[in-house]
Structure 1
Amino acid sequence: MQTNTSNSSANRERTVKVGSGWAMLPLTLLVLLGGVLAIVLGARGGGLVFFLGGISTLVFGFVLCGGFFTLQPNEAAVLILFGAYKGTARESGFCWTNPFNKKVKISLRARNLNGDKLKVNDKRGNPIEIAAVVVWRVEDTAQAVFDVDSYDHYVAVQSESAVRHLASGYAYDDGEHDEVTLRGGSDAVSQALQLELQERLGKAGVRVEEARLTHLAYAPEIAQAMLRRQQAEAIIAARQKIVQGAVGMVEMALNELAAKEVVDLDADRKAAMVSNLLVVLCGESEVHPVVNAGTLYS
């Protein structure tokens, strides 16, 4: 029978209150001064008891000094006593805790991870270059310290893996009907990237605040071919608009001529007129008309 240890091994942060460093500072100074005074008295003939007591008091004062530490805003300290997690201090200022507690400071500020350009294949197998920026911060200090070896390195590696996985799930461009693409669906792609990153980095106590693509392009070996394809698609789309407009203008001209009885055209003359108008309207170069000085049917 197998047991799932992933959830049981996950640590959870416990916030603890620590003492004020300003309150302990006078007591610590008194202990240190008392120890020095006792050593001086013992050395001047006060006896061995004063001397040894002064040394012990002085050592105790130095031990108390080990409990002082400071925390800046958006900074926390994970307290560890002989390998056991005792809690996390989050109150900023001059603090004091058990001198034997190991204090691991962690920044809670938002950080930027500007990923490198990665060369991957999109959904259709086209090689592309992609990069992303991730805004993240440590949310659970216990998970960040105890559940991963180095949360900074963990964020970098998992972010690269998430970007590669994202790129393989979407086409770069020219998607099917209502298909989200990397180029056309930036908002949807960014949201998907943020959700995947949060799922991966949540194991390290990290909260992803934003994730967006900063670079997206075809790989150099196919960039020229894809550019020519995009240019061809643009030309075809423009031609379609021109033809649609030209057909509408020809239809309007024939209807106006017939409605106002300007001229009565048979089928052959209508076909010739349509041909001439389409050449004029759809041609790329300037058209030089030929003036007919005879009759309509000459």
Structure 2
Amino acid sequence: MKEKKGFSVNGYLMICVLLVAQVATFFYAVSGNPEAGVILSVLVGSLWLGYFMVQPNQAKVMTFFGSYVGTVSDVGLRWTIPLFRRANISLRIRNFESARIKVNDNQGNPIEIASIVVWKVSDTAEAMFDVDDYESFVRIQSESAIRNMASSFPYDPRDDEQAEVALRSHPIEISARLQEEIQARLAKAGITILESRISHLAYAQEIASAMLQRQQASAIVAARKQIVDGAVGTVEMALQRLNEKGVVELDEERKATMISNLLVVLCGDKSTQPVINTGTIY
């Protein structure tokens, strides 16, 4: 069921019309036909029940004996047929944070994930009549989409060397994918998703300690690799400069000793204690 515009007129205009009708009815009754005047007065009086107020970013969904007759979103005092039943629905932007869901990523690692979803009603008829409770529908379907999305990607790119996108390292891509997943489920309820983003992401408690140790080990290995690469480059430059300047000529054994000493100095965790040779170079 799609939204359509409902019948309503400006309330202030109808006040003038009904006041004129009320005065005309009074004079008609006084002029000599009191019975008809009473009937007309009751009829005009019942028309005053057709007034309603529409607040900004709200709408009135109107039904007539169970049939949908339209939606009024014009702000201000409005008037419609008094027999129309009017239900209020908000068009304002709303948001909520989902509960923390435990789910396995695509590598089978248990993780905890939660997200913030920003949404609004875009079709009042679908939201009111196509689902039982659209607010509950938004929450349940959003959590289902979050669970499905999280199980489609690895937590960390190191978990899957072939993965182009990971939950932790690609927040923009993950937010876009999550928004698509939620929107696909809520389009049938007249809901538009404006934004969705992850608000909590962590390994589950039972493996968090082990994964932290693995991350620390990976960071140490990466740092060591960078240190070794820099040290090797420094040694190469030192040997090249010594050779170019002709400062000293070293045989292969002395070169190996020099390289070993330089690498110890450059790659060691602690400060080295130099040994000064006061004799000859050999």
Q: What amino acid does structure 1 have at the position aligned with 2:274?
A: P
Do the aligned partners of residues 27 and 227 (structure 1) sit closer, same or farther apart at CA in structure 2, a change above 3 Å counting? same
What is the correspondence of 1:94-243 to structure 2 with a 5 Å cutoff? 94-173=77-156, 174=158, 175-177=160-162, 179-243=164-228
- Residue 206 of structure 2 aligns to which amino acid in structure 1? E
Is contact 1:31–1:57 with CA below 8 Å preserved after alignment? no
Distance in 1 (CA, whole Å) between partners of 2:89 and 2:243 is: 84
The answer to whether the Cα contact below 8 Å between 1:132 and 1:212 also exists between their aligned partners in 2 is yes
Q: Deviations over 1:79-127 (max 9, x none)?
A: 2111221111121111111111111221111111221211111111111
For 1:237 and 1:274, locate their aligned partners in 2 and report how far apart those are by CA, in whole Å: 22
Size of the aligned set, in residue pairs, is 279
Query: CA RMSD of the aligned region, Å?
Result: 2.2
The corresponding residue for 2:34 is 50
The runs of 5 or more residues in structure 2 that have no matched partner are none
Pick from 8, 11, 16 the counterpart of residue 21 of structure 1: 11
- Could you tell me whether the CA contact under 8 Å between 1:71 and 1:91 is conserved in 2? yes
* 1:250 Cα deviation from its structure 2 partner: 0.7
Residues 133-180 of structure 1 show CA distances to partners (whole Å, capped at 9, x for unaligned) of: 111111111111111111111101111111111111111112425521
Which of 60, 68, 80 is the aligned partner of 2:43?
60
Question: What secondary structure sits across from 2:43 in the alignment?
Answer: helix
Q: How far apart are residue 16 of structure 1 and its match?
A: 3.3
* Residue 274 (structure 1) aligned to one of 259, 275, 280: 259
- Do the aligned residues in 2 keep the contact of 1:120 with 1:164 (CA within 8 Å)? yes
Aligned partners of 1:156, 1:201: CA distance in 2, in Å? Answer: 10
CA-to-aligned-CA distance 1:176-221 (integer Å, 9 cap, x gap): 2552111100000000011111111110011111111111111122
1:3 is aligned to: none
Task: Provide the rounded CA distance (Å) in 1 between the counterparts of 2:100 and 2:23.
Answer: 61
Distance 1:262 1:177, change over 3 A: farther
Look up the SS of the partner of 2:202 in the other structure: strand
**TM-score of the superposed pair, with normalisation by structure 1:** 0.87
Q: Distance in 1 between matches of 2:57 and 2:7?
A: 16
In structure 2, relative to structure 1, the CA distance for the partners of 1:283 and 1:119 (3 Å cut) is: same
3-state SS of the aligned residue for 1:66? helix
CA distance in 2, matches of 1:296, 1:196: 73
- 1:143 maps to a residue whose letter is E
Residue type at the aligned position of 1:285 = K
* TM, length-normalised to structure 2: 0.91
What whole-Å deviation, never above 9, does each CA across 1:224-276 have from its counterpart, x for those lacking one? Answer: 11111111111111000100010011111111111111111111111111111
SS at match of 1:208: strand
> In 2, distance between residues paired with 1:197 and 1:62?
49
Match of 2:151, SS state, is: helix
Superposed displacement of residue 61, structure 1: 3.7
What is the distance in 2 between the residues matched to 1:215 and 1:29?
Answer: 60
User: Mind listing any 5+ residue stretches in structure 1 that lack a counterpart?
Assistant: 1-10
